[in-house]
A = this chain, B = another copy of it.
Amino acid sequence: MPQLRKDPIIGRWVIISTERGKRPRDFVVAKEEPSDIDCPFCEGRENETPPEIYAVRRQNTSPNTPGWDLRVVPNMRPLMQIDGYMGRRPQGMFDLMNGIGAHELIIETSRHVANITELDIEQVTCVFDTYVKRMKAMEKDVRIKYALIFKNYGVAAGASPIRHSRSQLIALPVNPKRVKEELAGCKRYYEYKERCIFCDMLRHEIGAQARVIAHSDGFVAFTPYASRFPFEVWVLPEEHSCDFYTLKNTKGLAIIMKAVMDKLSAGLDDPPYNYIIHTAPFRRMTSAGYWKTIDYDYHWHIEITPRLTKIAGFELGSGFYINPTPPEEAAKFLNGLNKERK
């Protein structure tokens, strides 16, 4: 019998189609050829990108020269523009504003490697440190309401064919729809329970153990109950926190993220994927009232979605997803891998 499961945060129903139950080896994703070495993101090619905004460099090296471990540069084809006025205005019955914001590329390593699994823990920590720093910088610009940090890995996940490990930051003068929905869901739950829904979900998952795939250094990774995609994984800090940019334990996050990515890569044969950091908007009213130090509006987390299935018209038009792999089976498979290798 197929199941309908409801995401408790935003109220979306997902079909978990056990009849179509797909095992990991059933997903066939075209392998990507290693890209040519003509890569503008490699060390020594610094003049082929716009000048760097931020870099982690070895001592006595100059900006935009070799000698770096990580660089942040403006996206070469920016979706948003940093200079100008916002000009929010009507256009007939519609609403329009200028695309003021930022669009940055985080080049995660000077070496020509494609995936986060090929970086060591120190380098992955450096990536998350950079995310925190760039998000803090965005928060200071009063025009910016939200900064989205995400990674596209593989052409099927929307990446360009140049296989050099990187992620993107898009800073926006508006809050994304999905984030608003999550905030509204958290608020509804808080008004009813006076607790954070993500904190409750964490406790539930740790208790049930059916979907947990990693738990270390104050972070938990699990396949969510109403997963939209096969092998979808969420990573949350155990300690309640609304804002990603207040994170101090970036090493703990690097450790769990690399563990999850290693499992997905080993189990699903290096699949294309996206991850996206979900954090609270920079400027918001809190719903928690007099608790000034903890507000229960939100709980930042990272959503990792391997791209093993095509998204059909059904999903796009209805907001209704079909997932052929129950998250419990996905977790069991990923945890089994772990044991085999031990």
Contacts and interface: CB of A to CB of B under 8 A. Distances in A.
A179 B318 contact: yes
Interface string A291-318: 0000000000001010000111110111
Interface string A1-24: 111111010111101010110000
Given A4-B99, A94-B226, A178-B320, A150 B314 contact: yes
B312 A3 contact: no
29 contacts: A2-B99, A4-B99, A5-B95, A6-B95, A8-B94, A11-B177, A15-B79, A15-B99, A19-B77, A19-B79, A20-B79, A79-B322, A92-B204, A93-B204, A94-B225, A148-B314, A150-B313, A150-B317, A152-B314, A157-B310, A168-B314, A172-B320, A176-B320, A177-B319, A177-B320, A179-B318, A179-B319, A276-B316, A305-B316
Interface centre among A99, A148, A157, A173 (most CB of B within 10 A): A99
A319 B276 CA distance: 12
Contacts of A177: 10-13, 318-320
Contacts of A313: 150-152, 157-158, 273-276, 305
A96 B17 contact: no
A3 B97 CA distance: 6
A152 to B, nearest CB: 5
A94 to B, nearest CB: 5
A178 B319 contact: yes
A168 B317 CA distance: 13
A285 interface: no
B96 A4 contact: yes
Contacts of A94: 5-6, 8, 225-226
Contact of A96 (B3, B274, B314): B3
Interface string A75-89: 001111100100000
Nearest to A173: B4
A26 interface: no
Contacts of A155: 310
A196 interface: no
A3 B98 contact: yes
Contacts of A92: 204, 208
Contacts of A166: none
Contact of A318 (B99, B178, B310): B178
A276 B159 CA distance: 28
A156 interface: yes
A42 to B, nearest CB: 23
